[in-house]
Amino acid sequence: MTKPTIAIVQEAPVFLNLAASVEKAIGHMEEAAKAGASIIVFPETWLPGYPVWLDFAPGAGLWDDPGAKALFRLLAGNSVRLGDNHLSRLQETCDRLGAYLVMGAHERIGNTLYNSMFYFTPGAEAPVPHRKLVPTYTERLVWGRGDGSTLAAIDTPWGTLGGLICWEHWMPLARAAMHAKGEAIHIAQWPMVKEMNHIASRQYAFEGRCAVAAAGAVLTKADVIAGFRSLDVDAPEAEAMLASMPGGADDLIHTGGSAIIAADGSYITEPLYGSAGLVMGEVDMARQLEECQALDTDGHYSRPDVFELKVNTRPMPGVTFDGD
């Protein structure tokens, strides 16, 4: 099994509606598996959608804004929790299809939300989470910061599968830590994959000598409003904030751009912009190993006598209680 097939699901979720988005995800997983996918990938916080109002709604950053607070409440109520039925259904689907899954989701722990990437292995008891280390700019209005305990990677028949979320790809030490895990395949989750995101994803592939699946979503303003209305809730301030985003109903907020990249930085599958669909590509792991002859950043191209990196992988809760 030297040639895994990766499928990126470049679709819109049912925005803000977790249960409906899980149903939609299962349908896309079945479609990808039928097409021959070994590894199925969804974009950043696909469950139940990237909080686009942070980027586009004029009042999103105002203190005590009723619309922003209502949207946070709705998002918190539609975020996954470890061990919940939503994650269990995705795990059951992986087991049935025999495919690996990497899903981006809003995760709730207590009353704080995290931008999380979940790795699902067929036959596993539960998915493995990675929580974004640093929410970027206005994202800090919604998400808390992850710690080193979830700087995760999993084993697959093709080697180590790992990933980072969005601007984590511009954290040099995070990249170094993940390279040290020996990734064969790396998942780069983005809201959409813009030009600079492609530069980061291709550079990561070249630096890490690994295949990279750069995953982004397509999303229109109509998708956003329809997803909100599917919740059937009385939250006029929230709807008003979403409606305040500029553009027409059919204008794309997120334009996709998903692609699959080889270990030399070239495209296995060229970026797909402006339309939904599966972005699929086959990775030749034997050819990939050849690239390590010239560069292995955690091997013959490292200088441990000069550089040293220590990674704290302990959970860092705000309060601990010592028992007797």
Q: Is 308 among the domain residues?
A: no
Residues forming a β-bridge with 121: none
- Cβ burial of 307 (10 Å; 0-12, 13-18, 19+) is exposed
Q: Can you give the pLDDT at residue 2? A: 81
pLDDT in tens, 104-160: 999 999 999 999 999 999 999 999 999 999 999 999 999 999 999 999 999 999 999
What's the CA gap between 25 and 203, in Å, rounded? 29
Instruction: State which residues form the domain around 97.
Output: 5-293
Q: Is 312 among the domain residues?
A: no
List Cα–Cα distances, 41 to 189, 260, 297, in angstroms: 9, 11, 26
Q: Is 258 among the domain residues?
A: yes
Query: Is the pLDDT assigned to residue 308 strictly greater than 80?
Result: yes
Confidence of residue 10 (pLDDT cuts 50, 70, 90): very high
Q: Is 159 among the domain residues?
A: yes
Largest CA distance in the chain: 62
Active site residues: 44
Q: Can you give the pLDDT at residue 300? A: 96
| Number of domains, the chain | 1
Query: Is the pLDDT assigned to residue 323 strictly greater than 90?
Result: no
147, 131 Cβ separation under 8 angstroms: yes
10, 43 Cβ separation under 8 angstroms: yes
pLDDT in tens, 18-30: 999 999 999 999 9
Q: Output the six-digit token pair for 260.
A: 């699959």
What's the CA gap between 323 and 266, in Å, rounded? 55
- What mean pLDDT is reported for the chain? 97
CATH number of the domain residue 192 falls in: 3.60.110.10
pLDDT in tens, 195-207: 999 999 999 999 9
Q: Is 311 among the domain residues?
A: no
Query: Is the pLDDT assigned to residue 324 strictly greater than 80?
Result: no
Q: Is 32 among the domain residues?
A: yes
Q: Is 322 among the domain residues?
A: no
Q: Is 309 among the domain residues?
A: no
